[in-house]
């Protein structure tokens, strides 16, 4: 068996692709959704239950893990996989995004970013070289270049400056990754909401020796149309032979639309965060379990689900748990949401394989729109 990281496209349907990423720790079926395991745990989930929802890979965060418990400590403890009891593939975010969104007193220059921890105010420095070193210490299977992500809307000048800095950091990140058999490093397209900048970034990164390419700096406040426009502009300039990862996206509809345009990988806190706040994603759209209409509703979230949380517990019970602030409510809704996201990905993969993605998307969106009435026997 080859121990090399590889990507194979098995089927296409329009611009959408169905494939497999091989890593020594396991095969990732694409299009893939990666649950977010920020601080070495997918919040409120046992690792075996994350696996049971259908996840082939999850995401860890350099920013959170470097601050607590620390990358060197995790390395001494045998690496992130053993530490959190997840023996399957892990992709790590390089920390650039969280430094911008969470850290205090940031100071950015060509070398990298100096910042204060949001936890205890301690001072830290991240550079392309240090981010890659941390990802190596964690033992990450797919490592991301260190980049600068700007919030939208921003001026084209600002987007251009950050994009060019990210390209220089891409070269340094790629060099710092060196050769790690079985592991991969991905570059990240930036360029704000500017088509010329996105194209320039994509072309430059396509010319570097990355194992995959990500699109960053989207789903950061812009309308869905802008995001899809940027994808349509960017993806044709990325090599078809490499996996394409849309970072931090998104709602089920964002994912469906992006898959249709050729994206292979996604991550988002939405299913897990929503689950901790009483919101369920289902084939019948979103269900807000705080709503009093569910107080005596004996139906489950989704009677046809293979997920126990979605199939076996009444909405009345989930409503009670959410109203009472019970941890079990968060556990069940997180599990149900991750299971729904994974079943959506499975549906997308099957539809691409069968050449009926357009129909699948239309049916899926119609079911969301029909709402929960569609979930009840008539």
Give binding residues for substrate as ranges: 93-97, 147, 190, 217
Nearer to its own copies, 332 or 351 (CB): 332
3-state DSSP assignment of residue 145: coil
Tell me if 77 contacts its own copies by CB under 8 A: yes
Of the residues 6, 12, 15, 41, which one makes contact with its own copies according to CB under 8 A: 41
Tell me if 85 contacts its own copies by CB under 8 A: yes
- Cite the annotated binding site by residue number: 93-97, 147, 190, 217
Question: Does 312 qualify as catalytic in the annotation?
Answer: no
Length of the chain counted residue by residue: 378
Nearer to its own copies, 259 or 330 (CB): 330
Tell me if 63 contacts its own copies by CB under 8 A: no
Torsion sign (Cα): 50, 303, 248, 104: negative
Which residues 6+ apart lie within 8 Å of 374 measured at CB? 284, 367
Nearer to its own copies, 81 or 349 (CB): 81
List Cα–Cα distances, 90 to 48, 111, 144, 185, in angstroms. 15, 27, 11, 12
Question: Does 267 qualify as catalytic in the annotation?
Answer: yes
- The least CB distance from residue 274 to its own copies, in Å, is 15
Two structure tokens written together for 244:
């394409």
49, 93, 297, 302: the active-site residue: 93
Selected range binding its own copies among 107-115, 129-137, 160-168, 317-325, rule: CB under 8 A: 317-325
| Cα gap 265→250, rounded to integer Å | 11
| Cα gap 64→124, rounded to integer Å | 12
3-state DSSP assignment of residue 146: coil
56, 141, 267, 297: the active-site residue: 267
Selected range binding its own copies among 41-49, 195-203, 347-355, 362-370, rule: CB under 8 A: 41-49
Two structure tokens written together for 306:
């293979």
| Cα gap 79→82, rounded to integer Å | 6
Of the residues 16, 40, 100, 310, which one makes contact with its own copies according to CB under 8 A: 40
Q: Is the peptide bond before 153 cis (omega within 30 degrees of 0)?
A: yes
Chain contacts with its own copies (rule: CB under 8 A)? 39-41, 43-46, 68-69, 73, 76-78, 83-85, 295-296, 298, 312-314, 316-317, 319-321, 323-324, 326-328, 330-331
Residues with catalytic roles: 93, 267
């Amino acid at each position: 068996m080859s121990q090399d990281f590889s990507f194979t496209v098995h089927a296409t349907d329009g611009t959408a692709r169905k494939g497999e990423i091989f890593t020594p720790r396991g095969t990732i079926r694409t299009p893939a959704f990666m649950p977010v395991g920020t601080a070495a745990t997918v919040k409120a989930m046992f690792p075996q239950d994350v696996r049971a929802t259908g996840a082939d890979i999850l995401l860890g965060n350099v920013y959170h893990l470097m601050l607590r418990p620390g990358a060197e400590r995790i390395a001494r403890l045998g690496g992130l996989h053993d530490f959190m009891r997840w023996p399957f593939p892990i992709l790590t975010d390089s920390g650039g995004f969280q430094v911008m969104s969470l850290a205090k007193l940031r100071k950015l220059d060509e070398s990298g970013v100096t910042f204060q921890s949001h936890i205890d105010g301690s001072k830290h420095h991240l550079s392309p070289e240090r981010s890659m070193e941390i990802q190596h210490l964690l033992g990450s299977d797919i490592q991301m270049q260190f980049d600068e992500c700007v919030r939208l809307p921003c001026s084209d000048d600002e987007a251009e400056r950050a994009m060019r800095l990210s390209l220089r950091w891409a070269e340094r990140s790629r060099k710092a990754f060196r050769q790690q058999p079985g592991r991969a490093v991905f570059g990240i397209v930036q360029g704000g909401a500017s088509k010329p900048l996105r194209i320039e970034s994509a072309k430059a990164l396509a010319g570097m020796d990355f194992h995959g390419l990500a699109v960053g700096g989207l789903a950061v406040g812009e309308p869905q149309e802008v995001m899809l426009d940027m994808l349509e502009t960017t993806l044709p300039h990325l090599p078809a032979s490499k996996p394409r990862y849309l970072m931090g996206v998104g709602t089920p509809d964002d994912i469906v639309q992006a898959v249709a345009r050729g994206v292979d990988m996604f991550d988002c806190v939405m299913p897990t965060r929503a689950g901790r706040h009483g919101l369920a994603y289902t084939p019948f759209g979103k269900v807000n379990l705080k709503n009093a209409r569910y107080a005596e509703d004996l139906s489950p979230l989704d009677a046809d689900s293979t997920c126990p949380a979605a199939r076996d517990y009444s909405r009345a019970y989930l409503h009670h748990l959410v109203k009472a602030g019970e941890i079990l409510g968060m556990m069940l809704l997180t599990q149900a949401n991750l299971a729904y996201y994974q079943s959506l990905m499975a549906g997308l993969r099957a539809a691409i394989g069968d050449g009926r993605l357009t129909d699948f998307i239309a049916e899926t969106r119609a079911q969301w729109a029909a709402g929960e009435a569609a979930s009840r026997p008539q």
